[in-house]
Amino acid sequence: MTENDRALRTRPPAVAGQFYPREPGRLKAEVERLLDGAAAAGADTPKALIAPHAGYAYSGPVAAAAFALLRGRAEKIERVVVIGPAHYMPFQGIALPSADAFATPLGRVAVSRDALENLADLPFVLRSDAPHAPEHALEVELPFLQCAVGSFELVPLLVGDVDPAEVAQALGRLWGGLETLFVVSSDLSHFHNSETARRLDGATAARIENGQWAAIGPNDACGWLAVSGLLIEAERRGLRARRLALCNSGDTAGSRERVVGYGAWAF
C-alpha cells in the first residue's frame, strides 16, 4: 500500500458477505453469471437506469437486466451518479459523503469530488458520512457497474426527506452528456403476498413508464423520492422509461407469502 492509498478516505463495504459474496472471485463470477443471463435489449447506451438493491439471490436477475445494457457500450461513460434511499438513518435532504472512494471486494471506486462540489451550494444538500456507513442501497449496485462499465468515477447520493423537485434539481446539475450515467436504486412494494405485490408493482410500473411521478409514494417504492426526481428531470429532457424486468422475491428465492417487488427500467 502506497502513502497515497493510506491518505485516501475510503468507505468500506458494509454488506459484503450478506447481500453479495465477500470473496472477489466468487463475487465477479456471480455478477458475470447474472449479466450473462440477462437479455441486453436495445442498441443504445441508456442515460439512466432504475435497478433494485436487495440481495443478489433475490433481485440480482432484475438488476442484471438493467446493467447488461452497459456491456460493450460503456466506453464513453466516465461518471456514474448512483442515488437511492437511506434505510437506516433519517435526515433532511440529500447526503454527500466525505469519502474519496467507495470499496467493494472488486476494488475501490473513486468518488467524483468535482461533481459533489457542484451540488454543495444547494440548500437541501448536506455532507454526512453517517447515513452512508451502513447503507446497502448504493453499495449493491457497484459490483454490477464494476463488471459492466469498468473504470468510472462515482457520485454517491443518499436521499432523506426531500422534495422530488429538489432531487430533480440535483440530477439536473449533474446531467452532462454521454459521459454521465444515472442509476436510481430502488425496490418496489414490501411484504405483501406475491399476488398482491404483482398487482401493486404493475400499477407502479405503469406510473413510472407514463412519467406519473406525483402518483408514486413511499408504499410503492422505498426509493420513491429518487425515482420521482428522475422522472421529473427525464420528462424535462424528453426521456421516457422502458421496462426491462418486473418480478418479486417470490419469483426468485423467497416465500410467496411475504415478498419484495423488483423492477428495472432504462431511459
Q: What is the pLDDT of residues 179-200, one digit of tens each?
A: 999 999 999 999 999 999 999 9
Residue 1 binned pLDDT confidence (cut-offs 50, 70, 90) = very low
How long a stretch of residues is the chain? 267
Q: What is the rounded average pLDDT of the residues 18-33?
A: 98
Number of domains into which the chain is organized: 1
pTM of this structure: 0.95
Residue 46 gets which letter from DSSP?
P
pLDDT for 73 equals: 86
**Is residue 254 one of the residues assigned to a domain?**
no
**Is residue 248 one of the residues assigned to a domain?**
no
**Is residue 40 one of the residues assigned to a domain?**
yes
Answer whether residue 12 shows pLDDT above 60.
yes
For the stretch 112-128, pLDDT in tens is 999 999 999 999 999 99
Q: What is the rounded average pLDDT of the residues 98-112?
A: 98
pLDDT for 260 equals: 97
pLDDT for 39 equals: 75
**Is residue 135 one of the residues assigned to a domain?**
yes
pLDDT for 188 equals: 98
In this structure, the dihedral spanned by the alpha carbons of residues 112, 114, 116 and 118, taken in order and rounded to 10 degrees, is -150
Percent with pLDDT over 90 in the chain: 92
CATH of the domain at 15: 3.40.830.10
Q: What is the rounded average pLDDT of the residues 149-155?
A: 97
For the stretch 203-255, pLDDT in tens is 999 999 999 999 999 999 999 999 999 999 999 999 999 999 999 999 999 89
Q: How far is CA 22 from CA 67, 90, 137, 185, 244, in A?
A: 20, 28, 17, 21, 28
**Is residue 212 one of the residues assigned to a domain?**
no
**Is residue 258 one of the residues assigned to a domain?**
no
pLDDT for 171 equals: 98
**Is residue 86 one of the residues assigned to a domain?**
yes
Which domain, by its residues, includes 100?
3-187
To the nearest whole number, what is the mean pLDDT of the chain?
95
Percent with pLDDT over 70 in the chain: 96
pLDDT for 8 equals: 79
* Alpha carbon of residue 100 to chain centroid: 19
For the stretch 50-81, pLDDT in tens is 999 999 999 999 999 999 999 988 899 999 99
One-letter amino acid for residue 169 of the chain: Q
DSSP letters of 174-221?
H--STTEEEEEE----EEE-HHHHHHHHHHHHHHHHTT-GGG--TTT-
**Is residue 106 one of the residues assigned to a domain?**
yes
Answer whether residue 20 shows pLDDT above 90.
yes
